[in-house]
Amino acid sequence: MIYNALTQMKAKNLDRGKHADGQGLWLVKKNKASGNWILRLVVGGKRREMGLGRWPDVGIGEARTRAQGARQTLRDNVDPIAARDKARRVVKRTTVKEAINGCFEARKAELKRDGDAGRWLSPLNVHVVPKLGKRAIEDIDQHVLKEILEPIWHEKPEAAAKALNRMSLTLKHAAALGLNVDLQATMKARALLGKQRHTVEHIPSLPYAEAPTFYQWLSTVQGVSALALRFLMLTVARTSEVRLATFSEIEGDIWYLPAERTKTGQERRIPLTPEALLVVKAAQKLSKGDHLFPAYRGRPISDAAMATLMKREGYTARPHGFRASFRTWVEEQTNTPFEIKESVLGHTVDSEVVRSYQRSDRLEKRQELLRLWSGYLLNVKEKD
């Protein structure tokens, strides 16, 4: 068996090729001036080669020392190649910002329009990332979360709660990556922050008894905003659904809302009453493009357009509040089943299992209810 066959001078004079030093240590020369040290081992019954460094940067003595250490590791039943690679690996700590972005990417398919509106990220980007974004996610505990959320816990309770909930999801995502995070950090932070001092503030709505008078006055008002608000009242659709409505979405007396424009992420058919179709006809005279209710240069009216109209007339109620006006009227003035009342508002009323069997969207029943609502707004008495 060969032991320490090479010397510094001999290694220097050797030509290109593989040259044994002994006990599995080889000098593999690319040319006369450079090469690499290789140690041949049998790991798990398989022959492996372990690089020990470049020659002549790593001299013979150092190569033999490294080879001896690898053999000792192998005698301890540890793969020296795997152990060396693990020790060499530079561990890049995942930052809070990276973890948040990773969590968001993983959840995009569950969010409306893949989360492109930015609402999921917004509480984190405003209240968490500026202060914690560069810190390692593994360093986040309840005390850190309490410190950044305490100033807004009572002042901006909804934003604070959303930020904390989404940090919980982020920590779960980080744990799934194999990172050593505290999954209970958000729960502990909530305990430290205590119960939020706030009352839920509902969007102001007009009492349904005043809705007919308001609608009939609104019918006398000129302009796109007034038409949009009438359409909103007649369909009880959401403000964003109305202001972004297009003529191409309307076929006959049905307004087809694509899934990407609904809150539930499911396509909706909204029946249009004769009064709603009159609004559409009036909108055609004012619009030069596809949007029913355009502002300047054909773009849809802004979020504030309808609200501004109401505020200018001294109303504290807001456009979205007409959904509550309608829902209260239905509850107190009709015997409409719960599923129909909620379906008109675009709420999901059936479980996923029920939906897989019950495939009707209750169009005819919703159409009848909206017809009654339209008649109520127009002060039209139902015939016996």
Q: What's the CATH number for 96-193? A: 1.10.150.130
pLDDT at 112: 65
The pLDDT of residue 126 is 93
pLDDT for position 32: 86
Mean pLDDT of 287-306: 87
**Hunting for tokens 């798990």 — which residue is that?**
44
Task: Kindly report the CATH number that applies to the domain delimited by 8-88.
Answer: 3.30.160.390
E-state strands within the chain: 17-22, 25-29, 35-43, 46-55, 250-251, 254-257, 268-271
Q: Tell whether the model's pLDDT for residue 121 goes beyond 50.
A: yes
Average pLDDT of the chain to the nearest whole number: 89
Do the beta carbons of residue 120 and residue 162 sit within 8 Å?
A: no
Query: How many Cα neighbours within 13 Å face the side chain of 323?
Result: 16
pLDDT at 271: 95
How far is CA 329 from each of CA 209, 325, 381, rounded to the nearest angstrom? Answer: 8, 6, 15
Q: Is the pLDDT of residue 384 over 50?
A: no
Q: How confident is the model at residue 381 (pLDDT cuts 50, 70, 90)?
A: low
- Most confident range (mean pLDDT) of 24-33, 211-220, 283-292 is 211-220
Edge-to-edge, what's the strand order for the sheet holding 25-29?
17-22, 25-29, 35-43, 46-55
Q: For 220-253, what is each residue's pLDDT tens digit?
A: 999 999 999 999 999 999 999 999 999 999 999 9
Q: What is the pLDDT of residue 64?
A: 92
The model's confidence at residue 383, banded by pLDDT at 50, 70 and 90, is: very low
- Mean pLDDT over 182-203 rounds to 85
Per residue in 329-375, pLDDT tens?
Answer: 999 999 999 999 999 998 887 666 555 656 678 899 999 999 999 99
CB 7 within 8 A of CB 21: no
Domain regions of the chain by residue span: 8-88, 96-193, 208-377
pLDDT band at 281 (very low <50, low <70, confident <90, very high): very high
pLDDT higher for 95 or 260? Answer: 95
* pLDDT interval class at 295 (50, 70, 90): confident
95: left (phi over 0), alpha (psi -120 to 50) or beta: beta
Give percent of the chain above pLDDT 90. Answer: 64
pLDDT at 85: 78
Q: For residue 90, is pLDDT > 60?
A: no
Q: State whether residue 357 is helix, strand or coil.
A: helix
- Of the pLDDT bands very low, low, confident and very high (cuts 50, 70, 90), residue 148 is very high
Confidence of residue 113 (pLDDT cuts 50, 70, 90): low
Nearest to 293 by CA among 301, 304, 285, 281: 301
Report the 3 state secondary structure along 222-277. CCHHHHHHHHHHHHCCCHHHHHCCEHHHEECCEEEECHHHCCCCCCEEEECCHHHH
Asked whether the beta carbons of 303 and 243 are under 8 A apart, the reply is yes
On the question of pLDDT at 208 being above 70, the answer is yes
pLDDT of residue 250: 95
32-59 pLDDT tens trace: 889 999 999 998 888 999 998 999 999 9
- Residue pointed to by tokens 């002042």: 155
Q: What is the total residue count of the chain? A: 384
Examine the pLDDT at 201 and tell me if it is beyond 90.
no
pTM, rounded to two decimals? 0.57
CATH number of this structure's domain 208-377: 1.10.443.10
